Amino acid sequence: MEASTDRAEKIQPSSPPYLLLFFLVLVSFSSAITGAASADDDGTLPPLPQSEVEALSKIGARLGMDIGEWNVTVRNCSALDGVALNASTSDSFNKVTCNCSYMRSTVCHVTSIQLTRQNLTGMLPEEVVNLTYLRNLDLSQNYLSGPIPAVWASLQVFNLSLQGNRISGKIPKELGKMPLIKSLQVESNQLGGFIPIEIGDLSSLETLIISSNRFIGELPSSFAKLVKMNDFRMDGNNISGKIPEFIKNWISVNRIDMVGTSLVGPIPESITLLKNLTQLRVSDLQGPQGMGFPKLQNAKQLTKLVLRNCLISGEIPSYIGTLENLKVLDLSFNHLSGIIPLNFEELEALEYLYLTNNMLTGEIPPWMLRNRASNKINIDLSYNNFTGTAPSDCQEGNVNMVASFSSTYDDSITECLRKEFPCSTKPQYTSLFINCGGQNVSFEGNEYDKDTSQIGSSRFNLDKSERWAYSSTGDFTGNEDANFIATNTSILNMTNPDLYTEARLTPISLKYYGLCLENGNYSVKLHFAEIIFTNDETYWSLGKRLFDVLIQ
């Protein structure tokens, strides 16, 4: 019996770290001099125009900066007018950059504003357009709200980053007139509606990141004109329609992310033209069963390939085993059959291999079990139809093989390797309590078992009581050192907070087994508490949590 527990696992978060941090909102005006910039006799740099001083003052007020700390004068580029330097952390940037080489180094202009993770609570300022020399605007990871001003279309910026805020409304179609923009990043906001076709007119655009918003409809056909595209991410939107053929025009693209959308497969055959791909992530495709494996044999620089839950059937093509730079291969939750290609052993750069929930057959390649000695690769082979000689256990090194064999009744195969994970003895238990990710806890007269293993990338873990087990799959993209247990550090105002102090995390799939339970009717009680997102008006409170729980 699966998932018959009285403590629910915490489904993967899409949040930042959960520690409640406070940052002083102080601004440092630094001089980034591009060219000969001479200082006055007292060592100061040329002044800012009064128009830019006034614009900066209004920008600070609109963003919600403290007036006493946003002290703007014509001499701010020299950092001599009482502007405090911010004690920034490694991932917190708080600066305005000037270029003082204009008009033979007699005047400064603001060229960059970078105010990230400052917990700014205001709105996006229209007055930014008065900084006519601005080339970079980064207001990411704050608490800003409201719409994107349409007047920003006149900005001459190369980079516009607004990710991780509460910005709402639609992307103004006027932004399609921004002549110089190379990077537009608006991920993790509350933007919605259709993506304007005018965005396809941004002929210099190289990076477009719109993930984690509320966009609907199809990708505009005008995107075919974005021939300089290098990095495109649209995860976590309700964007629909077929994966467009026009991606074949993005011949320079390195990364495409289409995870968790409403797109319809298959992946077009023309993807074979994208020879510069290094990362391709696609998941949860809709459409008919039996889609073929995409033609990626020319993408020889691939380092990360994720094709999860894409309705792909047939055999894994052998050319995958020739991608010598491949570090992550996730083909889980498809309908793949046949054997694992023999040349997978030659993938020397491989670190993560996820083949769980397919219909693969044949023997488990011996080299995967030899991996036990080096623990080099995390491999998940669970829930397949393997045959042949079975290993003695379900977890060997970093190889998870729970329920990976086709047989259910072959007593020569260890129970946890068989389909349905049958009980090894006579059913004898009538209850089960697990504190997922936490310590032993007594609650309402019941003893909750601890569940504290920090291993989770490709892990089957049988509790020492042999009454329950869990199987965890996945790695946290871009964070190889991530923990698989989250710990709350704030005060929880609830009965017995010890039950909610920790929670198990998983990037792809987490399944708990209640073992050897007697037949009968059971009451299943799931305990939930938010211990990662903070309850305040800061960047750390932003995010949404969805649960997909199956009990059988």
Q: Is residue 27 part of a domain?
A: no
pLDDT score for 548 = 76
Q: Is residue 509 part of a domain?
A: yes
Query: Cβ distance 231 to 209 under 8 Å?
Result: yes
pLDDT of 16 above 60:
no
179-238 pLDDT per residue, tens: 899 999 999 999 999 999 999 999 999 999 999 999 999 999 999 999 999 999 999 999
Out of 34-43, 290-299, 465-474, least confident range: 34-43
pLDDT score for 367 = 92
Q: How far is CA 266 from CA 217, 313, 331, 516, 527, in A?
A: 18, 11, 15, 42, 39
Q: Among 349, 314, 348, which Cα is nearest to 331's?
A: 314
pLDDT of 123 above 90:
yes
Query: Cβ distance 309 to 283 under 8 Å?
Result: yes
Q: Is residue 506 part of a domain?
A: yes
Show the beta-strand stretches assigned E in 78-218: 94-101, 107-115, 136-138, 145-146, 159-161, 166-169, 183-185, 190-194, 207-209, 214-217
pLDDT score for 500 = 82
pLDDT of 170 above 80:
yes
pLDDT band for position 166 (cuts 50, 70, 90): very high
422-481 pLDDT per residue, tens: 888 888 999 999 999 889 999 888 999 999 888 778 999 999 999 999 999 988 877 777
- In this structure, what token pair is assigned to residue 352? 């993560």
Q: Is residue 86 part of a domain?
A: no
Q: Which residue has the higher pLDDT, 371 or 550?
A: 550
Q: Is residue 362 part of a domain?
A: no
Q: Is residue 462 part of a domain?
A: yes
- Owning domain of residue 504: 434-541
Distance CA 257, CA 365 (A): 31
Distance CA 85, CA 108 (A): 20
pLDDT score for 184 = 99
Distance CA 299, CA 320 (A): 10
DSSP-derived secondary structure for 368-428: HHHHHHHT--EEE--SS-B-SSPPSSSEETTEE-TT-BS-SS-TTS-GGGSTT---SS---
Out of 58-62, 263-267, 406-410, least confident range: 406-410
pLDDT of 409 above 80:
no
Q: What is the H or E stretch that residue 337 is in?
A: strand 335-338
pLDDT score for 40 = 52
Please give the DSSP secondary-structure letter assigned to residue 325.
T
pLDDT score for 424 = 81
| Average pLDDT rounded to a whole number, residues 507-528 | 89
Average pLDDT, the chain: 85
Q: Which residue has the higher pLDDT, 263 or 524?
A: 263
End-to-end, the C-alpha distance of the chain in Å comes to 7
| Average pLDDT rounded to a whole number, residues 273-295 | 96
Q: Is residue 516 part of a domain?
A: yes
| Average pLDDT rounded to a whole number, residues 36-40 | 45
Q: Among 525, 400, 401, which Cα is nearest to 459's?
A: 400
Q: Is residue 473 part of a domain?
A: yes
pLDDT score for 484 = 86
Number of structural domains the chain divides into: 1
Burial class (CB in 10 A: 0-12, 13-18, 19+), 172: middle
319-364 pLDDT per residue, tens: 999 999 999 999 999 999 999 999 999 999 999 999 999 999 999 9
Distance CA 411, CA 210 (A): 52
| Average pLDDT rounded to a whole number, residues 146-167 | 97
